[in-house]
Structures are given as structure tokens and as C-alpha cells.
Amino acid sequence: MTSKGACIVTGASQGIGRATAIALAAKREYSSIVLVSRNLEKLEETKALAGNPDNMFALPFDLEELEGIPAMVSSVVRDYGDIDLLVNVSGYADPKPLFETDAHSLEKTFRVNVFALTLMCREVAKNMRGHRCGKIINIASTAGSTPRPGWISYSSSKAAVISISQTLTAELAEYGVKVYCVSPGRCATDLRRKLAPEEDPATIMQPEQVAEIIDNLSGDTGNALDGQDIVVRYQPRL
């Protein structure tokens, strides 16, 4: 039985976003789960993997189109009601060392990882402010808090996500909105394969393990953890 309003998951076509959408659907707590990504076909795959629940909806949208974000969020509110949860998972990486990094690479990385995320927070928080409750969960990375030579644009963008999340925790508290930041370590996603193509994905953390943390934060048990950089690492059993 649903007890909460709508939920938006960006980057829901694969990896952590897909695993999060499936985990949230299993609990049947949200009246609607809106999946956002550029790739409609992959969003439909996510729905199928979740069992095609009648409260899960695919919304194809390119988050690089920053000017369209306000209208996109407004359409969610219009079609599915007030938003109780936003999970910002969408990310982009183009790993290059400093001397090979150019303005285009920096701009695109920050456009997706920082600018779009911030605008999603802003537009969703406008709605949450109106009903004085809600949770925003931003996905950063341990790359945002530890040195990663050769990943300067990605690492710095994730450092920004950590800072944005901590700032919004304080800024939105008066409206009853809680903001969380989850920083996964090495995780078997398409993005990770791009960053470390030589790595065996079976030996590192799986998206479902990160989704479990996100799912827990979305519930009442995570209320005391807002404002923290929640690091999630996989420790293999020997």
C-alpha cells in the first residue's frame, strides 16, 4: 500500500539508478515512481525488471538540456502529484589527465554532474517546500573526497556534489526537506567500466548494494544522516 507521494529517479536506465528504482518499487510506498533518462528503451527495461508495476513511469529526458528541467519537473507534479523523494543518480565521466583535459570535457562533466543535479534539486525543492516535507538523495563518489589522478573533471564534479548536498541540508531544513549525499566506492556500473576498463566487475561492489543504502535512507530510519557524506564501500570476504 502506498503511503507517500511521487518519486523521481534520474539515471534510472542502468546501474545504481536502475537498481534503486527496482528497490523502491518493491516496497510499494510511493504513489508514482518516475524514471528519468535519455534512453526510453532502457527505461522500459528497468520497468520490466521491476515487474512492470502500475505505478512506475518512464520519462525520457536529456538532463544536459538544462533549460527544460523546470518544465520537466512541473510535468511530474502535474501528472503524478507532489514529490516526496528525488534520487539524483545521473552522471557522466570522461577521464583524462590534466594535460589532456579541455574546456569541452570539463563543461560536459559539470553540466550533467553538477548543473543538472543542482537544477533538479531546486525545482523539486520548490514543490517540497509547498508541502513541507521530502527527501533529496544525491549520488556523489569517493572520487570527490580522495585524490584520483587522471580523473580531474569527474573528481572535482563529485566534490561539488558533496558540497552542494551539505549546503542544501542547511538551506532547506526550515522547509522540512532533508538532503543526503551517498558516495559509492568502486561499483560495477557502465561508468566504472569506462573509468577502469581493466577491472573485473565481479570483484567489486554491485549497484544493488548501493541501492539498498539509498532505499534505507528514503525511509524513516535515515532521518539522522542528512548532511553527511555517506561513504559506501564493499569489503570482500576473505
Q: Which of 183, 179, 178, 177 is nearest to 213 (CA)?
A: 183
Each domain of the chain, given as residue ranges in start order, spans: 4-232
Residue pLDDT, tens place only, 191-224: 777 777 777 777 778 899 999 999 999 987 667 7
> Which parts of the chain fold into alpha helices (H)?
15-27, 40-49, 69-80, 103-110, 117-131, 152-172, 190-195, 207-218
Residue pLDDT, tens place only, 14-36: 999 999 999 999 988 999 999 99
CATH of domain 4-232: 3.40.50.720
- DSSP per-residue string spanning 42-105: HHHHHHHHTT--TTEEEEE--TT-GGGHHHHHHHHHHHH--EEEEEE---------GGG--HHH
Instruction: Produce one character per residue of 36-67: b if its CB has 16 or more CB atoms within 10 Å, e if not.
Output: bbeeeebbeebbeebeebebbbbbebebeeee
Which residues have a Cβ under 8 Å from the Cβ of 95 and sit 6 or more positions away?
A: 150, 151, 153, 154, 194, 195
Q: Which of 161, 139, 158, 162 is nearest to 16 (CA)?
A: 139
Cell 544536459 belongs to residue: 64
DSSP-derived secondary structure letter, 153: H
Q: Are strands 30-37 and 56-60 parallel, antiparallel or unpaired?
A: parallel
Joined grid coordinates for residue 54: 502500475
Residue pLDDT, tens place only, 123-177: 999 999 999 999 999 999 998 999 889 999 999 999 999 999 999 999 999 999 9
DSSP-derived secondary structure letter, 117: H
User: Which pLDDT score is estimated for 238?
Assistant: 44
Q: Answer yes or no: 234 catalytic.
A: no
Residue pLDDT, tens place only, 49-90: 999 999 999 999 999 999 999 999 999 999 999 999 999 999
Least confident of 41-45, 179-183, 206-210: 206-210
Name the active-site residue from 80, 92, 154, 180: 154
The C-alpha angle with vertex 82 and arms to 65 and 178, in degrees rounded to 5, equals 85
User: Which pLDDT score is estimated for 174?
Assistant: 96
Residue pLDDT, tens place only, 81-112: 999 999 999 999 988 999 999 999 999 999 99
State percent of the chain over pLDDT 70.
Answer: 96
Residues 133 and 184: their CA atoms lie apart, in Å, by 26
Cell 539498498 belongs to residue: 212
Q: Which of 89, 81, 82 is nearest to 16 (CA)?
A: 89
Record the pTM.
0.93
